[in-house]
């Protein structure tokens, strides 16, 4: 994989960079499995720089975007849909907030739609939906599980005559090597006054600072990290005004959480029992932001 050293911040173009955290990833040993949504090898990370001017955190050297796209295209992640109930609870809260800014009936595009759990709920809530997903296996899962026909590819490859009133980026921005190019590329299919919903980890959160290099958001798939200031800066630069902000809360089964941390020994009955117990985690380490595009 080609790595490109950066001498300026990808967010503000400032030249004053510092080492933020030393990496653990071996670029030559990577495969699609390293980019799974459910990957639990926490602490697997690139070497990160931080900008002294704006505080943006980014992989430096930056991995090649085309190579990363190839890994995403080939990944399979059966475990993602097995946690449908917990993920559905996460997404239901997002839909409640979203309805305050763009009511059901609006045309919604989910970028990085995975197996379609969120889009399926959005459709049942009354939204007209479309989705983009680079993984061929997850696109197939979305059709098999929910009858959803997602666009197989990246946002840069997506073409639509429709103009969307809502675009959702749920745990997407941290995967993007060039946030300005990515967000600017969405403009071509946004309706005037469109609402953008973003969920992304907060690198300045207390959890990130306490856990350090083993923070669960340090994964191979994550190449950039925002805090409140840098996320606001990115949104303002592309003509968005934040209309609501919250700390994202996670809902997962005890089975899922247990297997993130420790090997699970026990029979099928134990596993089924653990899957029935759901926990809501207020970790306060991800931002959930709703922003409206200016119509000027």
Average of per-residue pLDDT across 72-97:
90
| First-to-last C-alpha distance (Å) of the chain | 41
**pLDDT over 50 (residue 159):** yes
**Given this model, what pLDDT does residue 87 score?**
86
Closest by CA to 25, choosing from 55, 62, 72, 56, is: 62
Query: What angle (nearest 5°) sits at the alpha carbon of residue 250, between those of residues 290 and 243?
Result: 10
Residues sharing a CB contact under 8 Å with residue 112, sequence separation 6 or more, in sequence order: 132, 133, 134, 169, 170, 171, 172, 175
Residues 76-98, mean pLDDT to the nearest whole number? 89
State the average pLDDT for the chain: 91
pLDDT tens string 169-209: 999 999 999 999 999 999 999 999 999 999 999 999 998 99
> The CATH number of the domain where 16 resides is what?
3.40.50.150
Write the pLDDT tens digit of every residue in 211-223. 999 998 999 999 9
For 28-82, how does the pLDDT look when each residue is reduced to its tens digit (9 = 90+)? Answer: 999 999 999 988 888 899 999 999 999 999 999 999 999 999 999 999 998 888 8
Percent of the residues in the chain that have a pLDDT greater than 90, as a whole number = 78
Q: Name residues whose C-beta falls within 8 Å of residue 133's C-beta, 6 or more positions apart in sequence.
A: 112, 113, 114, 116, 139, 142, 150, 151, 152
Domain that residue 66 falls in: 3-293
Of the pLDDT bands very low, low, confident and very high (cuts 50, 70, 90), residue 89 is confident
Q: What is the pLDDT of residue 296?
A: 63
Domain total in the chain: 1
Question: What does the pLDDT read at residue 135?
Answer: 98
pTM of the model as a whole? 0.90
**DSSP conformation letters of 132-180:** EES-HHHHHHHHHHH----EES-TTT---SS-EEEEEEET-GGG-S-HH
Q: Which two tokens stand for residue 221?
A: 């798939």
**From CA 23, how far away is CA 257, in angstroms rounded?**
25
Alpha helices in 61-135 (DSSP H): 65-74, 78-82, 84-98, 117-124
Angle of the 117-124 helix axis to the 84-98 helix axis, nearest 10: 50
pLDDT at 82: 82
Q: pLDDT band at 258, cuts 50/70/90?
A: very low
**What confidence score (pLDDT) does residue 266 get?**
56
């Amino acid at each position: 994989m080609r790595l490109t050293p950066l001498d300026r911040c990808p967010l503000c173009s400032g030249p004053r960079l510092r080492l933020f955290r030393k990496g653990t990833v071996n670029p030559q040993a990577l495969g699609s499995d390293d980019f799974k949504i459910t990957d639990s090898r926490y602490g697997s990370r690139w070497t990160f720089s931080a900008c002294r001017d704006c505080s943006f955190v980014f992989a430096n050297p930056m991995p090649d975007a085309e190579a990363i796209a190839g890994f995403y295209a080939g990944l399979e992640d059966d475990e993602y849909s097995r946690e449908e109930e917990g993920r559905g609870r996460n997404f239901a809260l997002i839909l409640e907030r979203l309805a305050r800014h763009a009511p059901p009936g609006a045309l919604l595009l989910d970028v990085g739609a995975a197996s379609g759990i969120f889009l399926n709920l959005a459709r049942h809530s009354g939204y007209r939906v479309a989705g983009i997903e680079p993984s061929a296996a997850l696109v197939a899962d979305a059709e098999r599980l929910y009858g959803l026909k997602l666009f197989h590819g990246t946002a840069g490859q997506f073409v639509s005559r429709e103009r969307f009133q809502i675009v959702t980026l749920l745990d997407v921005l941290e995967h993007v090597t060039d946030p300005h190019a990515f967000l600017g590329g969405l403009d071509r299919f946004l309706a005037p006054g469109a609402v953008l919903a973003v969920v992304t980890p907060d690198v300045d959160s207390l959890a990130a600072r306490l856990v350090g290099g083993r923070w669960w958001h340090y994964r191979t798939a994550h190449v950039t990290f925002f805090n409140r200031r840098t996320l606001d800066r990115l949104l303002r630069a592309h003509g968005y005004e934040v209309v609501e902000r919250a700390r994202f809360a996670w809902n997962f089964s005890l089975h899922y959480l247990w297997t993130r941390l420790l090997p699970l020994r026990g029979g099928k009955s134990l596993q089924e029992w653990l899957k029935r117990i759901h926990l809501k985690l207020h970790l306060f380490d991800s931002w959930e932001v709703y922003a409206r595009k200016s119509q000027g």
